[in-house]
Amino acid sequence: MKIALIGLGSVGRGVAEMVAKKDLGITITAVADSTSVCMDADGIDIHTLLARKKKSGRCGDEGVSVTELLKKADYDALVEVSPTNALTGEPSIGYIKTALNRKKHVVTSNKGPICLAGKELRALAQKKGVALRYEATVAGAIPVMHLLEHGLAGNEILAIYGILNGTCNYILTRMADEGLTYDQALLEARELGYAEADPTYDVQGIDAAIKLVILANTIWGNGATLDDVERTGIDLLTADALRLAEEDGCTIRLIAEAIPRKHILRVSPRIIPKNHPLVVEGTLNALTLETDMAKEITLIGRGAGSVETASAIIGDLLYIRNHYDKRA
């Protein structure tokens, strides 16, 4: 299976490293970062690629745009792992459309295009007879999409509850465990690389809301948008609030929840018993699916990380190879 890899940052590097390390039958034939591209239909040498990127900051040469690369290169699947633009989804929506229009499969970890244009992109993929898979967009390494699609096939999904943002979970864990203030815990999260310089998307619940929209649309196809999510972040939470919860054997977590029968689509800090399955520590993610036949299933795992996210992407690629196109 030949792949075009757009983005060679944390996730792109994780994918490239695992493709080089494991015998997966995947060959990288095209790569792009923000300023350069490289292409070789016979397969790019990954060690040379990563060494060049590390030394020069570029994966290849200038002169060819990413869109041109996607139109010219020889590949079976696009792996789109460039930064999320939550306002427009661009340029990634354009990249994905270019590949789909060429009847290439697409696998992405990029939440922007799926949240903003998921319906249109899924329809285009279907029309072209190719796959659009996005396991990595929600809860990193946790294979929730695969579970919904396969293990829980035939179940009605009644509700989902999740901890979908590791940065917030880390901050809340540290506030509860060490009595830190929000600002102290945020500073620590930044120093450890868990929080961005501008943490707005995480701490105001926007990132979790985007993931909730992706899940809700995947499960119920209900055309939910970010504006439909009732959202409260953790940035105004006090150490006192956590202490009071603690006194009652509870703690506070940022919970994303979708309950269609009650018209609930919400991200908010919630007081929950400390022994609740969703109370996970540090940067972990967790997700409870409430279904009619299987009842409650809770998944816990890593929501981010270079190789962890690559796990979800490689799972999607191998699924495509096994189920869609025997030639890929």
- In the complex, the residues that contact ligand NAP under the rule CB under 6 A are 6-12, 32-35, 66, 81-84, 91, 109-111, 136, 140, 304-305, 309
Q: How far is the CB of 103 from ligand NAP (least distance, A)?
A: 21
The CB density around residue 282, as the number of other CB atoms within 10 Å, is 14
d(CA 202, CA 204): 6
Question: How do beta strands 284-291 and 230-231 pair?
Answer: unpaired
Give the span between the Cα atoms of 235 and 315, in whole angstroms. Answer: 35
Q: What are phi and psi of 2, to 5 degrees?
A: -100, 135
* Cα separation, 234 vs 225, whole angstroms: 21
User: Whose structure tokens read 């633009």?
Assistant: 85
Choose between 288 and 309: whose C-beta lies nearer to ligand NAP.
Answer: 309
- Phi and psi at residue 105, in whole multiples of 5°? -65, 155
Q: What's the closest the beta carbon of residue 291 comes to ligand NAP, in angstroms?
A: 25
- For tokens 């815990």, the residue is 185
Residues designated catalytic: 211
Q: What would the DSSP string read from start to end of 1-41?
A: -EEEEE--SHHHHHHHHHHHHS--S-EEEEEE-SS-EEE-T
Return all residues near 174 (Cβ < 8 A) that are at least 6 apart. Answer: 180, 184, 185, 188, 189
Measured from the CB of residue 235, what is the shortest distance to ligand NAP in angstroms? Answer: 20
Which of 162, 190, 173 shows the shortest CA–CA distance to 237?
Answer: 173
Spatial distance between the Cα atoms of 174 and 123, rounded to a whole number of angstroms: 43
Phi then psi dihedrals of residue 44, to 5 deg: -85, 135
3-class DSSP assignment, residue 322: helix
In the three-class reduction of DSSP (H, G, I as helix; E, B as strand; rest coil), residue 284 is classed as strand
How near is the Cβ of 288 to ligand NAP at its closest, in Å? Answer: 20
Judged by CB, which is closer to ligand NAP: 251, or 283? 283
Between 11 and 206, name the residue whose CB sits nearer to ligand NAP: 11
State the nearest-atom distance from the C-beta of 261 to ligand NAP, in Å. 30
**Angle between helices 182-191 and 166-178 in degrees, nearest 10:** 120
Minimum gap (Å) between residue 139 Cβ and ligand NAP: 9
The distance of closest approach from Cβ of residue 230 to ligand NAP in the complex, given in angstroms and rounded to an integer, is 23
Q: What is the number of the residue whose Cβ is closest to ligand NAP?
A: 9
Determine the Cα–Cα distance for residues 317 and 310; give it in Å rounded to an integer. 10
